[in-house]
Structure 1
Amino acid sequence: MTRLIVAAGGGGDAVAAAVLHAALYGDEDQAVILTYAWDRLLVDPVPGPRGAHDFTGLEALTPSLWSVPATARPVAPAGSTLPRLASELPHTLALLDPSHGVEGVTRQLKELLAYFTPESIDLLDVGGDILARGDEPTLKSPLADAVTLAACCQVNAPVRLLVAGPGLDGELSAQDLCPMLGPVVHTLTAEDVAPVGNILEWHPSEATGMLTATARGTRGVCEVRDAGLPVPLTDESPRVHEVDLDEALSHNTLARAITATTTLDEAEAHSREICGFSEIDYERNKALWLKNQAPAPLDADTVLRQVDEFESEARARGVTHTTFRHLTEVLNLNGTQRGELRQLLISDRPSRHDAPLWNIGT
């Protein structure tokens, strides 16, 4: 028996998909997780998602669909978390490649369904921005979710849309999402998320990191992303809701507009028109800035002093937690230094590691 889970937004959703598979389906056969290779400059210095041509060592499943084994490697200068995920998850990772727009992703989905004949199909989004109209001022990354939503609505098979951790991506609040959320399918527990604990110590996903932290009981306000968005961690955060797929499509203006696109450039153009921006444009601009920022040596005394200052200011804002990604941004460190920063802080203040988050103390 094979279950298919489409990770709507990227690598973090793929990790959440593995958690969800175990929570909902137990120890059945492996799942197939269809996911982007899109690490948002955290691991990959190249803007946008990676396609099949950006890897060596992929395994062909169908004419337009490839799996990512542990031995696959991104072609420099690109980077990707997928090969390492493949080595640590007991599932098949299939590469969702949006190079040919929604029509291309739809073709990949149809070929995948014919190849595996899965017992069930779930479309999973952590945070819920897949339910955005497109004009919300807090929206940051609608394109990836809109592509997967539009494609899943075109296959001749039942697809269940699931939203885990409403509001945890820092884009739409849980309160804004509430009217669109259906019944609770599952509330994640510490036992559910334990198998991916080690993965989230190195994987950069903030939303899935907060999802697993709240499943363990963490509550408060977590500051995330380069902009320092405050995300409430509440009893709602570890819940997984079912959402009507057709209603989601009718609400998502961008997803409807890009249904017939045959290139990613076309989909981007619609995003600029409907949302007022393209998230890949943002990545392009940031990548140019980062290219000129050579990583300076990480000086422990300086970093610890800067962290003290940040924590004092954050507490005054009512913040209780943050992510190591956000700390890296706040301290103007290079993304490649996130692991070194994490090791320094945990070594110096082990009691403050509220895995995988950082507790800023009282």
Structure 2
Amino acid sequence: MTRLIVAAGGGGDAVAAAMLHTALYGDEDQAVILTYAWDRLLVDPVPGPRRPADFTGLEPVTQSVWSVPAEARPVPPAGSTLPRLAAELPHTLALLDPGQGAEGVTRQLEKLISHLSPESIDLLDVGGDILARGDEATLKSPLADALTLAACCQVNTPVRLLLAGPGLDGEIPPADLRPLLGPLVHTFTPKDTETISAVLEWHPSEATAMLAATARGVRGTCEMRDAGLSIRLTDEGATVHEVDLDEAVSRNSLARAVMMTTTLGEAEAHSREICGFSEIDYERNKAAWLKKQPPVKLDPGKVLPQLDRFQTEARARGITHTTFRHLTEALKLSGAQRGDLRELLISERPSQHDAPLWNVTAHPEGTKPQT
């Protein structure tokens, strides 16, 4: 028995898909998780999503769909978390390529469905930006979700849209999402997170990290992203709801606009027109800025006092937690230093590691004396 889960927005949704599969379907069968290779600039210095030609070692599934095995490698200078995910998750990761727009994504999905004859097809989004109208002031990354939504509504096989962790991506407030949510499908528990615990030790996804944290009982307010968005960690954060696919398409102006696109550039143009921006433009501008920044050494003697100042200011803002991605940017370190920063902080102040988040309010008991 094969189940197909489409990760609406990329790598973080793919990690959540693995947790969802275990929670809903158990461990006996493996899933095929169809996902973008779109890791943003923390992992991949090249703006936009990666395509099959950006990898070596991919394996053909159909004429238009490739799987990403553990042995695959991104072609430098590109980066990708997918090969490591493939090594650590028991599922097949299939590469979603948006290079030919929504029409191309639709063809890939149709070919994969024909090849697999899956028992079920779930389209999973963590946070809820797949339900964006397009004019929300807090919207940051609607394009990937719009393309997958446009494709899923055009295949001739039933697709169930699932929304996990309403509001955890910081793009649409939970209050705006609640009227759109359908039946409760599942509430994640600490046991459910065991499937992805090891992955969350290194994967940069913030929304999925908060999803797992709320499942583990973490509550408070988490600061995320380079802009420092504040996200409430509540009981609602651990829930998974079904959402009517047709209603989602009716609401999502960008998804409707991109349905007939045949290139990613066309889809980007629609995003600029409807949402006022393209997230890939943002990545392009930020990548150009990052290239001009001088390298910064990870010096514990400087980082820990900087951390103390950040935490004092964060607590004054009412923040209880933050992500390691946000900490990396707040301390003005590069994305490549995120793992080293995490190891340093957990080693020095283990009591503040509220896995997979960082607790800025916890008393740093066990802090190692600085030498």
Q: Is TM > 0.5 for Structure 1 vs Structure 2?
A: yes
Q: Residue type matched to 2:194 in 1?
A: A
1:81-118, Cα deviation, whole Å (9 max, x unpaired): 00000000000000000000000000000000011000
How far apart are 1:27 and its partner, in Å? 2.1
1:163-200, Cα deviation, whole Å (9 max, x unpaired): 00000001111111011011110000000011211101
Separation in structure 2 between the aligned mates of residue 295 and residue 322 of structure 1, nearest angstrom: 24
Q: Residue type matched to 2:102 in 1?
A: V
Separation in structure 2 between the aligned mates of residue 351 and residue 164 of structure 1, nearest angstrom: 28
How far apart are 1:293 and its partner, in Å? 1.8
Q: Does 1:135 align with 2:135?
A: yes
Could you say what secondary structure the match of 1:42 adopts?
helix
Q: Residue type matched to 1:303 in 2?
A: V
**1:314-329 residue pairs with structure 2 within 5 A?**
314-329=314-329
What is residue 294 of structure 1 aligned with on the other side? 294
What is residue 199 of structure 1 aligned with on the other side? 199
Could you say what secondary structure the match of 1:236 adopts?
helix
What is residue 272 of structure 1 aligned with on the other side? 272
Separation in structure 2 between the aligned mates of residue 295 and residue 126 of structure 1, nearest angstrom: 33
Q: Does the Cα contact within 8 Å between 2:57 and 2:69 map onto a contact in 1? A: yes
Q: Does the Cα contact within 8 Å between 1:4 and 1:34 map onto a contact in 2? A: yes
How far apart are 1:295 and its partner, in Å? 2.3
Could you say what secondary structure the match of 1:197 adopts?
helix
Q: Does the Cα contact within 8 Å between 1:294 and 1:334 map onto a contact in 2? A: no
Could you say what secondary structure the match of 1:237 adopts?
helix
Q: What number of residue pairs does the alignment pair up? A: 362
Q: Does 1:281 align with 2:281?
A: yes
Q: Does the Cα contact within 8 Å between 1:293 and 1:334 map onto a contact in 2? A: no
**1:93-104 residue pairs with structure 2 within 5 A?**
93-104=93-104
Could you say what secondary structure the match of 2:167 adopts?
coil
How far apart are 1:61 and its partner, in Å? 1.1
How far apart are 1:45 and its partner, in Å? 0.2
What is residue 179 of structure 1 aligned with on the other side? 179
How far apart are 1:28 and its partner, in Å? 3.0
Q: Residue type matched to 2:297 in 1?
A: P
**Can you give the 5+ residue segments of structure 2 that lack an aligned partner in the other structure?**
363-371
Range that drifts further, 268-277 or 28-37: 28-37
Q: Percent identity?
A: 76
**1:217-296 residue pairs with structure 2 within 5 A?**
217-296=217-296
Q: Does the Cα contact within 8 Å between 2:18 and 2:195 map onto a contact in 1? A: no
How far apart are 1:157 and its partner, in Å? 0.3
Separation in structure 1 between the aligned mates of residue 335 and residue 170 of structure 2, nearest angstrom: 20
**1:42-61 residue pairs with structure 2 within 5 A?**
42-61=42-61
How far apart are 1:294 and its partner, in Å? 3.3
How far apart are 1:265 and its partner, in Å? 0.1
Q: Residue type matched to 2:314 in 1?
A: A
Q: Does the Cα contact within 8 Å between 2:268 and 2:278 map onto a contact in 1? A: yes
**Can you give the 5+ residue segments of structure 1 that lack an aligned partner in the other structure?**
none
Separation in structure 2 between the aligned mates of residue 125 and residue 99 of structure 1, nearest angstrom: 21
Q: Does the Cα contact within 8 Å between 1:14 and 1:33 map onto a contact in 2? A: yes
What is residue 214 of structure 1 aligned with on the other side? 214
1:301-356, Cα deviation, whole Å (9 max, x unpaired): 11000100010010011100000100111111011011111111111110000001
RMSD: 0.6
Q: Residue type matched to 1:55 in 2?
A: F
How far apart are 1:254 and its partner, in Å? 0.3
Q: Residue type matched to 2:37 in 1?
A: A
Could you say what secondary structure the match of 2:90 adopts?
coil
1:39-84, Cα deviation, whole Å (9 max, x unpaired): 0111000000000010000001111110000000000000000000
Q: Does the Cα contact within 8 Å between 2:126 and 2:169 map onto a contact in 1? A: yes
Separation in structure 1 between the aligned mates of residue 151 and residue 338 of structure 2, nearest angstrom: 35
Q: Residue type matched to 1:167 in 2?
A: G
Q: Residue type matched to 1:84 in 2?
A: R
What is residue 23 of structure 2 aligned with on the other side? 23
Could you say what secondary structure the match of 1:260 adopts?
coil
Separation in structure 1 between the aligned mates of residue 319 and residue 296 of structure 2, nearest angstrom: 28
Q: Does the Cα contact within 8 Å between 2:56 and 2:73 map onto a contact in 1? A: yes
Separation in structure 2 between the aligned mates of residue 47 and residue 330 of structure 1, nearest angstrom: 21
**1:73-152 residue pairs with structure 2 within 5 A?**
73-152=73-152
Separation in structure 2 between the aligned mates of residue 294 and residue 104 of structure 1, nearest angstrom: 40
What is residue 361 of structure 2 aligned with on the other side? 361
How far apart are 1:296 and its partner, in Å? 1.6
Separation in structure 2 between the aligned mates of residue 16 and residue 42 of structure 1, nearest angstrom: 19
Could you say what secondary structure the match of 2:40 adopts?
coil
Q: Residue type matched to 1:253 in 2?
A: S
Could you say what secondary structure the match of 2:260 adopts?
coil
Separation in structure 2 between the aligned mates of residue 122 and residue 28 of structure 1, nearest angstrom: 18
Separation in structure 1 between the aligned mates of residue 233 and residue 29 of structure 2, nearest angstrom: 33
Separation in structure 2 between the aligned mates of residue 61 and residue 257 of structure 1, nearest angstrom: 29
Could you say what secondary structure the match of 2:237 adopts?
coil
Separation in structure 1 between the aligned mates of residue 358 and residue 147 of structure 2, nearest angstrom: 33
Q: Does the Cα contact within 8 Å between 2:57 and 2:71 map onto a contact in 1? A: yes
Q: Does the Cα contact within 8 Å between 2:22 and 2:195 map onto a contact in 1? A: no
Could you say what secondary structure the match of 1:277 adopts?
coil
Could you say what secondary structure the match of 1:21 adopts?
helix
Separation in structure 2 between the aligned mates of residue 154 and residue 188 of structure 1, nearest angstrom: 30
1:120-140, Cα deviation, whole Å (9 max, x unpaired): 000000000000000000000
